[in-house]
Amino acid sequence: MATAMSPVAERENYLNQEYGVRSWLLTTDHKRIALLYLASITFFFFVGGLFALLIRLELLTPAGDLVQADTYNKLFTMHGQIMVFFFLVPSIPAVLGNFLVPLMIGARDLAFPRINLLSWYLYIIGGILMMHAVLTGGVDTGWTFYTPFSTAFSNTKVIEAGLAIFVVGFSSILTGLNFVVTIHRMRAPGMTWWRLPLFIWSMYATSIIFLLGTPVLAITLTLVIFERAFHLGIFDPTRGGDPLLFQHLFWFYSHPAVYIMILPSMGIVSEIVPCFSRKRIFGYSFVAMASIGIAVLGFLVWAHHMFVAGMSIYAALIFSFLSYLVAVPSAIKVFNWTATLYKGSITFSTPLLYAFGFIGLFTMGGLTGLFLAALGVDVHVTDTYFVIAHFHYIMVGGAVMGYLGGMHFWWPKISGRMYPESLGKLAALIVFIGFNLTFFPQFILGYLGMPRRYWQYPPEFQVLNVLSTAGSTILAVGYVLPMIYFLWSMRYGKHAEPNPWGAAGLEWMTPSPPPTSNFEETPQVTWEAYDYGNIDLPKEVPVER
Amino acid sequence: MSEHIVSTKLYYAIWIALLVLTGVTAGVAFIDLGPFNTIVALTIATLKAVLVILFFMHLKYTSEKMTSVVVISAIFWLLILLALSLADYSTRPLGLS
Amino acid sequence: MSDSPVIVESHNPAQQHHFADMEQQRQAASLGMWLFLATEVMFFGGMFCAYLIYRYWYYPEFAAGSQTLDIRLGAINTGVLICSSLTVALSVRAAQFGKRKLLVTLLVATILLGLVFLGIKGVEWASKFEEHHVPGPSFHFEPTAHSHPNTKIDPRRIQIFFSLYFAMTGIHALHMVIGVGLFAVLTFYAWKGRYNSAYYTPIENAGLYWHFVDIIWIYLFPLLYLIDRKK
């Protein structure tokens, strides 16, 4: 299936088909839109990362000596808002999802290419609003916007930040809508539901959450904005308003949002693991159904963020029980990935290193989530660094590692170039070490009682904080390295074959990079997913075996 | 939504039904039924909504099952929000403590 | 290649090139609009959730607030929207038969009915402003003759009813404005003859949106206007 490609004669592909700023800013090609997103979310990743470094710098010493307390409140708020809404939520769906969904199902584009472009412009508008809020005073409410502080007492740019997140949320709703319609209506002949790559299943599950959860965040932020601007009294305790109502509405989206952030990464791992074990995934249908299960069950557990907020104990019991249930489909996936690796023919490529990192760190993060779901334990560790460690293990150790693994895995397809494999492995190792050094001490800190969102702390916590800050600098190096060598590879990297990894999937049956129309002819699918028994490794294997 | 074309007669019939039900719901509001006032009002509203969805929005005539799945999912998800929120509010005292 | 006769496949000029055929395009557009309406259910749903909880908590205050709303205007507006749903449904039918003039007439009728709704809403809001029932520093509530004098109501809590009243009817009205704008665009294209029996998807899908906004009002009317109206 791979035709020998002369590196000198540049075949026409989606990158060189047309040049010029207008051809990019007015494109409706899902692959170009994916790259537009890639540039934007990378920018916000570094902005959010900058705030993280400032936080860690302040926490090097017990005293509040780098910034004022109010400034510190702004740092952790904006770190959270930018990382969650402008990086984690869009990252994989808007970059890898946009690029791969049509390719993986054998379609020429998404169902609504112009709405896809609109999605990106909404993201940019939201991003500009957010940066303006950041640069003209910031927000200090915490990324969770709790009332009545956000509605009645904070003197910061709450309305602008709320508006920015509303707009960027709408962008994500349109992405989810596009994916669902595309997956339903535009699969190539023979591409039945049970032959879909698991990445598609996870994109579908993520899109369910986009569609049904994000609107509730939208209306909640709208009500907060109305309350601040028009003095409504919906969340005002002096007029009978219940602050907990805000929390219910906020977390109804924000809990499923964490599954938005992890499901796509899980989908990536489900693609990487079979490829580098040369085996079909173990329990395909279970993994597919587990994705849907996570999306659905994820909507039933939101109030586990409110156990100590004043909720009724009976509701707390219900939500605690449901939270244990939602761990089951995630565990199924971890078992199935492990079973796929078992007796596989393993190649320790960079993508697989990231997948290993994901499996280990996500498991730790997920299990500590169950600690938090236990009511008694939660009373002790809620709002401490234990929670922070928990969600960073999942968001960073899980989602970001999955994202990086995916970027490495599909980089040859996206850019037509190979990244330098040894640097890839080095960066993965640096990220893994830096990550654990940053966040493992935080589990201990939380257990010992260090509260979150505090800008000073008792001196006995300093050693662990110093370790954490040291780790964060190493982590930063690990993140910068791929930026550098990916850019380097676009000019100097080895030209990529259509299928450098010998991977299964329709995206590998088209040239690297693909032509604008994706496929010369519409594929006719007659084989099952992950048909690794019948796929040859490429003649020139880019990775040492 | 597909080739099925609904007759004008049916459209006018649904229109009349909707107007009549509106009159009924407004009229019944003035009769004291205790707690049933709310139930009757919501039932009539739901009946009106069902008529609009099935006939004006052509849900009854579409050949695509996915449309029904979407409608039922939306209602179900709204019920999740309402029911689980009520699980908290109905098990603690009314009003701010 | 040059010997064989060239077969030109002609397709509907409205077909976009990433679709295999018009039917796929129509199905995609329809599913897209229904999914969007599902997101709107959840969007309004957040406010319905707030309403549900506060009505459960503060029933007397909600009743008192409801009794200050003009039930005749609310009922008339409900009727106006129902009529507009009829004109929308008939307009889709007109498009299905390719009747351009009838289509344009019905679209314009829909717009006019929508504007009537918005006008009446404006009148209602103006009276709320005059009565000082707008939440905020100028809020002032006098128990009306209809409310039960023995029920002790907390006038501060009534602000929550009116907050939800303005939020819910306001966002509904915003959706009406968007709907009117949408239909204005469609009227223009319909007048230019863009829609016929082979392609009327935008009319159909805009119609779905309009019916949805109508359904929201179908629930808002009893929930806001008809709390404890018994004489």
CA distance A396 to C203: 46
CA distance A242 to chain B (A): 7
Residue A2 belongs to some domain of the structure = no
pLDDT in tens, chain A (545 residues): 444 454 545 788 999 999 999 999 999 999 999 999 999 999 999 999 999 999 999 999 999 899 999 999 999 999 999 999 999 999 999 999 999 999 999 999 999 999 999 999 999 999 999 999 999 999 999 999 999 999 999 999 999 999 999 999 999 999 999 999 999 999 999 999 999 999 999 999 999 999 999 999 999 999 999 999 998 989 999 988 999 999 999 999 999 999 999 999 999 999 999 999 999 999 999 999 999 999 999 999 999 999 999 999 999 999 999 999 999 999 999 999 999 999 999 999 999 999 999 999 999 999 999 999 999 999 999 999 999 999 999 999 999 999 999 999 999 999 999 999 999 999 999 999 999 999 999 999 999 999 999 999 999 999 999 999 999 999 999 999 999 999 999 999 999 999 999 999 999 999 999 999 999 889 999 999 998 888 877 665 555 54
CA distance A20 to A150: 44
CB A232 within 8 A of CB A226: yes
Phi, psi dihedral angles at A495 (to 5 degrees) = -65, 140
Contact yes or no for A312 and B92 at CB 8 A: yes
Residue A9 belongs to some domain of the structure = no
Exposure string of C18-42, with b = 16+ CB inside 10 Å and e = fewer, is: bbbebebbbbbbbbbbbbbbbbbbb
ipTM computed for the complex:
0.94
Q: CB A148: neighbour CB atoms within 10 A?
A: 16
Give how many domains chain B has, as a whole number: 2
Neighboring chains of B (3 or more beta-carbon pairs < 8 A): A, C
DSSP string, A147-186: TTIIIII--SSHHHHHHHHHHHHHHHHHHHHHHHHHHHH-
CA distance B69 to chain C (A): 10
Tokens linked to A116:
């896809």
Instruction: For chain C, positions 21-40, list CB contacts with chain B under 8 A.
Output: 27, 30-31, 34-35, 37-38
Facing A219 at nearest CB: one of C36, C43, C58 = C43
Q: Just give the CATH number of C45-225.
A: 1.20.120.80
Closest CA to A64 of A486, A459, A460, A336: A459
CA distance C27 to C22: 9
Q: CB B60: neighbour CB atoms within 10 A?
A: 11
Contact yes or no for B91 and A303 at CB 8 A: no
CA distance B15 to chain C (A): 6
Residue of A nearest to B95 (CA): A240
Closest CA to A89 of A218, A260, A216, A220: A260
Residue A100 belongs to some domain of the structure = yes
CB A168 within 8 A of CB A85: yes
Residue A25 belongs to some domain of the structure = no
Integer-rounded Cα Rg, in Å, for chain B is: 18
Q: Are B69 and B52 found together in one domain?
A: no
| Partners of residue B44 in chain C, C-beta under 8 Å | 222
Contact yes or no for A231 and C39 at CB 8 A: no
Q: Are B72 and B46 found together in one domain?
A: no
| Partners of residue B52 in chain C, C-beta under 8 Å | 85, 211, 214-215, 218
| B51 Cβ under 8 Å from any chain C Cβ | no
Q: Are B68 and B21 found together in one domain?
A: no
| Partners of residue B96 in chain A, C-beta under 8 Å | 237, 240, 242
Q: Residue A52 sits in a domain of what CATH number? A: 1.20.210.10
Q: Chain A to chain C, count of Cβ pairs less than 8 Å apart?
A: 123
CA distance C175 to C181: 10
Residue A539 belongs to some domain of the structure = no
Q: Chain A to chain B, count of Cβ pairs less than 8 Å apart?
A: 38
| B5 Cβ under 8 Å from any chain A Cβ | no
pTM exceeding 0.90: yes
Q: Are B25 and B43 found together in one domain?
A: yes
Residue A19 belongs to some domain of the structure = no
**What range does the domain containing B5 cover?**
1-62
CA distance A206 to chain C (A): 14
- Residue whose token pair is 């107007």: B19
CA A492 to chain centre: 29
Give how many domains chain A has, as a whole number: 1
| B20 Cβ under 8 Å from any chain C Cβ | no
| Partners of residue B5 in chain C, C-beta under 8 Å | 93, 96-97
Per-domain residue ranges for chain C? 45-225
| Partners of residue C53 in chain B, C-beta under 8 Å | 85-86, 89
Q: Which parts of A342-420 fold into alpha helices (H)?
A: 350-373, 375-381, 385-392, 401-415
Residue A344 belongs to some domain of the structure = yes
Which of A185, A220, A252 to mutate to test binding with chain B, by most B CBs within 10 Å of its CB? Answer: A252
Each residue's pLDDT tens digit, A356-399: 999 999 999 999 999 999 999 999 999 999 999 999 999 999 99
Alpha carbon separation from A240 to A86, A245, A543, C35, C230 (Å, rounded): 34, 11, 65, 36, 26
CA distance A523 to chain C (A): 13
